[in-house]
């Protein structure tokens, strides 16, 4: 039986890795994309194979539109299709807006927002031919509130942009059986947060505790299931009530 195929950017570590391993345990073929985490990517690819999935690890700068086109072609040439695209790459930094550099400002958009567009544009043709596809991106739990964010301004604007882009893609691709959705995590202990950032956050989270990667995986499972075939353009908060 032909296996399902997923491409996960940022799949070498954190939430992306968790999703990759969960799909591998279900027998999926999983391509992970990384930019600098070569050793982590190698370890994740081995873990995918150990769980019974097929693995493909590709170094790619998804802020480059042409590189995104090449990435999609590599995966499609390897396995003939891409059923699911998970946009998991998305670095950020904390800095006061008036201390931000032009380079730092641009980085937040080129690495968070632009790849979602580039990859959707590249993967959509194949999905449309097959009349099936799932695209999942990540925002943040309070992005839909459009609050002032003096320390993460560009990152926050980029994550808000993902919400608008997702709804647009969902409307355009729905006639072809493709769903496009967003998951917006709050504070998740994925191993990617700077040391100490999660300390003391419990008191700010209505649920009373920091989330785990498995909480995000559960949302992904739902969006990939047949139960969610009519769900598109939505934004699922995985935050324990934080950010509302």
CA proximity to 35, closest of 90, 109, 114: 90
Which residues 6+ apart lie within 8 Å of 174 measured at CB? 232
Which helix H or strand E contains 212, and what residues bound it? Answer: strand 211-212
Query: What does the block give as tokens for 133?
Result: 């596809």
Give the whole-angstrom CA distance, residue 6 versus residue 88: 12
Q: Could you tell me where the DSSP H helices lie in 55-149?
A: 65-79, 102-112, 114-130
With both helix axes pointing from N to C terminus, report the angle between 102-112 and 153-173 in degrees, rounded to the nearest 10: 30
Q: Which of 34, 118, 156, 209 is catalytic?
A: 156
118: its two tokens: 């580039």
- Residue 24 has, within 13 A of its CA and on its CB side, a CA count of 25
| Tokens 């956050």, residue located | 201
- Residue 21: C-alpha distances to residues 30, 84, 111, 130 (Å): 9, 14, 24, 25
Query: Is 34 annotated in the active site?
Result: no
Angle between helices 153-173 and 114-130 (to 10 degrees): 20
CA–CA separation, 238 and 118 (whole Å): 26
List the catalytic residues.
156
């Amino acid at each position: 039986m032909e296996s399902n195929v997923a491409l996960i950017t940022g799949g070498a570590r954190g939430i992306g890795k968790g999703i990759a391993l969960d799909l591998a345990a279900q027998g999926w073929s999983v391509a992970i994309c990384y930019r600098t985490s070569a050793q982590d990517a190698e370890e994740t690819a081995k873990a995918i194979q150990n769980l019974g999935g097929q693995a493909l690890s590709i170094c790619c700068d998804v802020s480059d539109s042409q590189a995104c086109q090449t990435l999609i072609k590599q995966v499609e040439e390897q396995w003939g299709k891409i059923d699911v695209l998970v946009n998991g790459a998305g670095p950020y930094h904390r800095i006061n807006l008036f201390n931000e550099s032009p380079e730092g400002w641009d980085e937040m958009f080129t690495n968070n927002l632009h790849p979602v567009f580039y990859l959707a544009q590249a993967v959509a043709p194949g999905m449309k031919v097959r009349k099936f596809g799932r695209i999942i991106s990540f925002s943040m739990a309070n992005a839909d509130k459009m609050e002032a964010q003096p320390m993460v301004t560009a990152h926050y604007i980029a994550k808000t942009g993902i919400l608008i882009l997702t709804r647009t893609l969902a409307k355009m691709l729905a006639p072809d059986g493709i769903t496009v959705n967003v998951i917006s995590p709050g504070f998740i202990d994925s191993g990617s947060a700077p040391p100490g950032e999660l300390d003391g956050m419990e008191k700010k989270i209505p649920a009373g505790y920091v989330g785990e990667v498995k909480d995000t995986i559960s949302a992904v499972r739902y969006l990939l299931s047949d139960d969610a075939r009519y769900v598109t353009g939505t934004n699922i908060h995985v935050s324990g009530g934080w950010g509302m």
